[in-house]
Structures are given as C-alpha cells and as structure tokens.
Amino acid sequence: MADQLILIIEDNERNLKLVRDVLQFSGFRTAEARTAEDGLALASASPPDLVLLDLQLPGIDGMEAFRQLRGSPPTAGVPVVAVTALAMKDDRERVLRAGFDGYLEKPISVRELASQVRAFLTAAELPDDR
Amino acid sequence: MEGVEAAGGLREEVERLRRDLAEAREQQAATSGVLAVLGRATSDLDAVLESVVDSARRLCRADIALIFLLEGDAYRLAFVSGDLTEDNRTYLAQHPLAQDRGTLAGRVGLERRPQQIPDVLADPEYGRPDIQRHGGFRTTMGVPMLLDGEVVGVLIVWRTEVDPFSERATELLTTFATQAAIAIRNVDLVNALQARTAELEVASRHKSEFLASMSHELRTPLNAVIGFSEVLLERMFGDLNDRQEEYLRDIWSSGKHLLELLNEILDLSKVEAGQMVLEPTEFSLQEALGHGLALVRERASRHGIGLGLEVAPGVGPVRADELRIKQVIVNLLSNAVKFTPDGGRVEVRARTEGGEVLVTVADTGTGVAAEDRERIFESFQQGGRRASTTEGTGLGLTLSKRIVELHGGRIWVDSELGVGSTFGFAIPAGVPATAADAAVDDPGRVDGERTVVVIDDDRRSVDLLTVYAEAAGLRVVSARDGRRGVELVRGLQPAMVVLDILLPELDGWQVLESLKADPATAAIPVVIVSVLDERPRGLALGAAEYLVKPVSREGVLDALARCGPEATWPTS
C-alpha cells in the first residue's frame, strides 16, 4: 500500500512541488509531468495507481487529457482525480459528469491531502460490475 | 328672389363647411397615422419618412412630395411620393442641390422658413432648369426640417400646373416637417444608445474576463504560499520554535485573507455583471447561525467578547442559497467581533415577521455615524470604523447587500456612536414548497417510484450523488439533517434512501433505526454512504448496501441498480 504511485500532472512548478512533497512525506511514490502530453506518455509507459490532473493546462487541457487516459488501454482503468481552482457548481457537475473519479479544489489542504488520496484509491478498488 | 339667393348662399356655406370638416378629418387621420408610425418604428426611419411624404402629398393636394436631406454641404433626395418616372427619380437622386438661392431647397435652407415659388419658369433666381425638366413641376413649396435650430433637410411639394399652395398647406407641411425631424432625432438617439450599449457590453465582458483570469493568476501563487506554510506548520520536515511558528501563522493567515479578498472581488464582479446565480435549497437557519458563530468563536474568546444566539420559536427551515446566506452571516458576525472592544458582547437573534425571516447581529462596538449608514454598504467603505487592527476588505457589506437583495430581501444598520451597532437582514421566509410538503398533503402528486431521498449534510456529496442518480433517470430530493430526512422519506415514499451517518439532529444510525421501525418505511431500501467504515453495523441495522466515502461513480450506480427500483439502468 505504501508504495502506491501517484502521477501528478500540474503546470505550476511550486504547486507541483507542494503536492509531490506532501505525498512523498505520506509514503507515496510520485511521478510528475508539467504538460498533459508528458503526463499521457508517462502514464502509458508505467501506469500509476492514481492520477492527480490539473484541469487548466497549457496545450492539451485537463478534460481532453482525461478522455485520452480513459481511451487508452494501459490507463483506462486508472482512477483520475481532477484538481481544479474552479469551484462553481456547474464546474463540479461538469467534472463528475465527465466521469472523473473525484475532484480536489485548490487550495489543496496539506493536512488532508494524503487521506483524501487514500480515500480515492480505496473507492476505486471497490468491486464494480464493469 | 332674395329668399332664393339667401338659400343659395346658405347652401354654399354649408357645402364649404362640410368640405372643410372632411378635410380637417382627413388631415387629422393622416397626422395620427404618421404619429403612430413615429411611435412604433423608432428604429425604422425609412417607414416614418415615407409615411410623411405620402401624407404631405395627399393633404397638400400636390402631385409630388419629396424629402431632401442635408449631406455634407448639399441637399440630396432621400424620399419621393408621387408619379415620377424611374429615370427622372434617378436623375434627381444623383444631382444634389447646393445651399444657394438657385433651387427651392437651397432657398429654404438659407431662409430657415417656408418658401414658395409660384412658377419656377417665371422665377429669375431659379438656376437649375435640368432639375425642373426632370421633375416637371411649375409651382413648388418647401419647409425646413429643423433639429435644435439646425436645418437637417427640406420637405418639398410640387404641382405640375401653376397653382400656388394655400396658407393652410404651408401649415400642414410645417407640421409634417416637424414630425420628420423628431423621427430623425429619435432614430439618432436610439442608434447612439444601441451603440453605447454594445460598447458597454463589450467592456463589461472584457472586465469579467480580466477578473477571471486575474483571479486565476493570483490564486496560483497564493495556493503555494498557503500550502507551504501548512507543510511547515504541520512539521512535516522538522520542528519549529515559537517565533517561527508565530511568523508562519502570520504568513498563512495573510495568505488566507488575500484569498478571501480575491473571492469577494470575484463574487462582487459576478453580481455586478448579473452572473451570480442563486442555488436555493432548504436549510436550517439556526444551524447556519451556529456555523457562523463557530467561525468567530476563537477570535471572540481571544478578545473576551461574549457571544449569544437567540432563535425565536417558529423560525423553521428557510429556502435560500445556503452558502450565500452563510456568507452574509459570517460577514456580519466577523465585522461585529472585529469592531467590538475587548470584553464586549455580540448578540445574534432570529425571528419571523410578516412572511420574512429577520436576523440581527448586535454589538457593543464603536458604532456607525448617521452619515455613514448608507455609504457603509457601498464598495470600499468602512465608515469611520477604521480601527488600527482592522483587516476588513471593505467589500463584505457590499457583497452581503447584493446577496440579500438577490434573495428579494433587505439589509440595514441601526447604530449609536460609542454604544454599538445592530446590523440586520431580512429575506422572504419562502414557505418551503418542497416535494415533501406537497406529498404530505397529496401523496398521489409525487412520483415516489422514481425518487431517491439523499440525506447528507455535505453539499458536495449531495451534488455528486445527484449527478449519478440523475444519470440513472432518477429524481433526487435531499435533506441536510436526519430529522428532515425521516420526514421526507415518510412523505415521499421514495424508491430508495441514500443515507450519510454523521448528520446534525438525528444521526444516520438513528435515521436508519426509525425508518426500519416504521411499517410505512421499513421496506424502502437504504444505502449508507459514509466516511465511517462500519459496514457490519449498517447491514445489521437493515441497510441494503454500505459504501465508504469517497464513492466511485460505478459503486453508486451499482448500488442504485441492485437496491433501487426495477428501472432501465444505463450499462456503463
């Protein structure tokens, strides 16, 4: 459990470092990408246990990156959590309708991040009839 | 003989009066026709001016009527009524008339009053035989169209025979010219207004886009400031001494304050742009007030300020945007605590009165001077209450006022300098017209078979479950506390219940027990969705399924499918 790999796709250097350091502190392994393109390549090369995906990215945006993750066999089953600064109800619904496994709102809570990630991982492991 | 002559004269007189009357009627009808067009078609100038030339020709008994408009330094034909060949019309349109005495239009423009040429061919000053040939007129009369004393055009009538126009015709033509000028002015005004509105819309859109992108740009570094101070405060990478911890708390709370400010600016710009949409739900005002008090409790106790809450009996749930109303409550409370000196008191009261819920927050602070009591609700005003320790944004009250007004309510302040202030707001109590109330009165009205009752106090969970359930073709009715939840289930007889455990009023275990103990609700399947992992206890108490939060979409759909109504589920 402690060695689960979390892929962080985030274009802002400092926010990336923050999430990475907090997750590493909590015993996760991390991989990082600053663009959706890099993230997609990394994810299919070695599929992570969970992807934290920033929605506002340069180039391919988060929504499109999510579709590509789901559409590609090596990553289709990897849970994806949206990380978003948008906090409107419409945005939340848009994210959930798109089929994300969950979302985190910025600013992320340093105190709760690890337990939130653990909870998303547990939820994704629940048996389903797919 | 005399009698016969007198009778003949009388008959003529009667005949003349009859003609005059008919003429007057016709003029009146035409004038009101033009006025009607004028009123209707403010943006369709052509329709108005065409109607003017038509009426002018008919009522002045002219062969042709024309409107020339001043363009640059010449009069150009704009409208014609009457029998003129296409060729002649084109010729006239292509040959503007100069502002001199050589044409009637030029002469009217120079004199700025009605002019007549009884016979053009006999007029020594007339200088445009080509125009006369193409127009084919002999007698011509014209009046200026004046706007603010300036000639903007000329209304002209022609007769092909020599037959001078009467005084009366001159008056009529003047009336029409005035109407034409008004029409031109109206259209100018409307066009200017439309252009201005379009400009403002563009400017407002730019402002909103600017604020949205600014807010993103500012938030990103702020998130790092807040996040890294949290990392250090959590001592993830080593211990801190007291001074370091104090400074880190300063950094953290300043960051939070900036973020709040940013959110308020964004909210306010949303209100100003008319883009703030309320999301009304039914919630307990008492709890919302308790929530607000909890947020200021720490600061109040640090300053020895006493807090009190008094909710009158009869204040039930309200229907409003819970987050927004909480925002107003928190704003009023934090202002009250901020402006109350150490050892003071802040009292919150709520009551209903005349279909409204009234909330007041009374402090023993510095008070607001009479001249500031209106101003204080406008942007960037803090009245005279600028204490040295103040960190108010100056936007909170403005935003609160807008939020309350969006709810159809009002906000006010009563105050005495040096004694204290009482801020209050009232919103319509909005007798909750929920499905549940309808169902209690008339159970047949709500289709319980396709309904899921979600009992959860976390808005995000409700949103998420709503999205999932609606995707499965179900309707969701939600309750924020256990007691309300049980009422809803009894009233609605839904197909199933989705139940959280950690709830205000009754907790989920109590809700489950009371639903299972009541024969009317015992058969309704209950799915527990909770952060607590107590599956065996849940199933033992009669839950049909137990999911631990956060739940996956598939997990929820699967549970709904197994426990819910026999429906056609989307296979995902």
ipTM score: 0.82
Please give the residue that has the higher pLDDT: either B491 or B200. Answer: B200
CB contact under 8 Å between A89 and B460, yes or no, is no
B 466-495 residues with CB below 8 A of A? Answer: 467-468, 471
Nearest to A21 among B231, B468, B554 (CB): B231
Instruction: For residue B382, report the phi and psi dihedrals to the nearest 5 degrees.
Output: -130, 20
Q: Enumerate the residues of chain A whose CB falls inside 8 A of the CB of residue B232.
A: none
Band (B416; pLDDT cuts 50, 70, 90): confident
Range B180-192 average pLDDT: 83
Q: Hey, are the CB atoms on A15 and B223 less than 8 Å from each other?
A: yes
Chain B residue with CA closest to A10: the answer is B220
B231/A contact by beta carbon, under 8 A:
yes
A-chain residues near B235 (CB < 8 A): none
| Closest Cα in chain A to B260 | A107
How long a stretch of residues is chain A? 130
Q: How far is B207 from chain A (nearest CA, A)?
A: 18
The beta strand positions in chain A, using DSSP E, are 5-9, 29-33, 50-54, 80-84, 102-105
> In this complex, is the C-beta atom of B238 within 8 Å of any C-beta atom belonging to chain A?
no
Q: What pLDDT was estimated at residue B201?
A: 81
**Residue B525 C-beta-side C-alpha neighbours within 13 Å:** 18
The residue ranges of chain A whose pLDDT is under 50 are 1, 129-130
pLDDT band at B325 (very low <50, low <70, confident <90, very high): very high
A44, A74 Cβ separation under 8 angstroms: yes
Q: How confident is the model at residue B440 (pLDDT cuts 50, 70, 90)?
A: very low
CA angle, B339 then B341 then B346, to 5° = 70
Fill in the amino acid letter for B445: R
Three-state DSSP class for residue B572: coil
pLDDT bin (cut points 50, 70, 90) of residue B119 is very high
pLDDT digits (tens, 9 = 90+) for B354-386: 888 999 999 998 888 888 887 888 765 555 544
Would the CA dihedral through B291, B297, B300, B305 be positive or negative?
positive
> What is the separation of C-alpha B113 from the centre of its chain, rounded to a whole number of angstroms?
48
Q: pLDDT confidence of B25, banded at 50, 70, 90?
A: confident
Alpha carbons B487 and B433: distance in angstroms, whole number: 14
Top-confidence residue, B10 or B54 = B54
Whether the CB of A108 is below 8 Å from some CB of chain B: the reply is yes
Using a CB–CB cutoff of 8 Å, tell me whether B553 touches chain A. yes
A130–B572 C-beta distance less than 8 A: yes
Q: What is the mean pLDDT of residues B98-104?
A: 92
